Structure 1
Amino acid sequence: MTMDVTIYHNPACGTSRNTLAMIRNAGIEPTVIDYLKNPPTREQLVKMIADAGLSVREAIREKGTPYAELGLDDPGLTDDQLLDAMLKDSILINRPFVITPIGTRLSRPSEIVLDILPDTHKGAFTKEDGEQVLDAQGKRLI
């Protein structure tokens, strides 16, 4: 299927790998952006967060990042300050963000990506942890 899909991907992240595999299971080869090497611009990041219906704080990754050391848990920080931190150190951008003509999602958990993909899945899909997401007919189980 031809559909313009972009994933901001971290190949070291299981959730990101599962999301990418689900996109491909739908018969779509997305544009894959390794956001740690090629982070989004401020404008792109602001748009992705807004289009996904998230607050800037909801789009920050805490686990495995310098979030606490940087004091980003301070509720007094503004969105601009949080965005500055995310753009300075892209590991603070939660992942994977997926953009399709149907919508934009932060695909955590990975099966959230199914909300913005066409129903063109090619059979069963099981995540890396063994959880089955699609049945043999490509129908969503969770």
Structure 2
Amino acid sequence: MRVNVTENKAMSEVTIYHNPDCGTSRNTLAMIRNAGIEPVVIEYLHNPPSREKLVELIAQAGLSVREALREKGTPYAELQLDNPALTDAQLLDAMMAHPVLINRPFVATSLGVRLCRPSEVVLEILPGAQHGAFTKEDGEVVIDTEGKRVRSGN
């Protein structure tokens, strides 16, 4: 059996900043695995990225710091992070102090970085094709039995 070194290298370069309690994050991880890729899984609530890494992920995803903030189920309101006068540095300080404020899941591959909300955004940056059907936890079919993307509303 011959192993494709380039393909294996690409597969090893997939990293997901994951929260196993989040359905979107679980669906994203499952789609990565459905492409035959076993990613590096970083449970960011227990092992948050460094400030520098977080800034890099946000920038590479093409987001503002504010767009990378999670509001639901976080201390966002009590910390008054909706205040437009807060600087990026202040928002990052809050994210570092409370990693739950980091929206999820961020996925980094050799093809780019995305905040995968909705989870199927991950398909834009996976270095491998889907290996079969995929249905999200809520029953939404994303990939058909031939491994092709099913678009809503078609």
Shorter-chain TM band: over 0.9
TM superposition score normalised by structure 2: 0.90
Aligned equivalents of 2:28, 2:129: Cα separation in 1: 15
The partner residue of 1:94 within 96, 100, 103 is 103
In structure 1, what residue type is equivalent to 2:111? Answer: I
Q: Report the 3-state secondary structure (helix = DSSP H, G, I; strand = E; otherwise coil) of the residue aligned with 2:17.
A: strand
Q: Which residue of 1 is the match for residue 87 of structure 2?
A: 78
The partner residue of 1:57 within 45, 53, 66 is 66
Which consecutive segments of 4 or more residues in structure 1 shift more than 6 A? none
Q: How does 1:38-49 map to 2 (within 5 A)?
A: 38-49=47-58
Counterpart contact for 2:27–2:137, Cα < 8 Å? yes
Q: Which residue of 2 is the match for residue 6 of structure 1?
A: 15
How much does 1:42 deviate? 0.4
Q: List runs of 5+ in structure 2 lacking aligned partners.
A: 1-6
Q: Report the 3-state secondary structure (helix = DSSP H, G, I; strand = E; otherwise coil) of the residue aligned with 1:18.
A: helix
Q: How does 1:111-122 map to 2 (within 5 A)?
A: 111-122=120-131
Counterpart contact for 2:143–2:150, Cα < 8 Å? yes
TM superposition score normalised by structure 1: 0.98
Aligned equivalents of 1:141, 1:116: Cα separation in 2: 17
Q: Percent identity?
A: 73
Q: What is the CA deviation profile of residues 115-136 of structure 1, one whole-angstrom value per residue up to 9, with x for unaligned ones?
A: 0013421110000000000010
Count of aligned positions: 142
Aligned equivalents of 1:134, 1:56: Cα separation in 2: 31
Aligned equivalents of 2:46, 2:127: Cα separation in 1: 29
Q: List runs of 5+ in structure 1 lacking aligned partners.
A: none
Q: Report the 3-state secondary structure (helix = DSSP H, G, I; strand = E; otherwise coil) of the residue aligned with 1:84.
A: helix
> What is the RMSD of the two structures over their aligned residues, measured on CA atoms?
0.8
How much does 1:23 deviate? 0.1
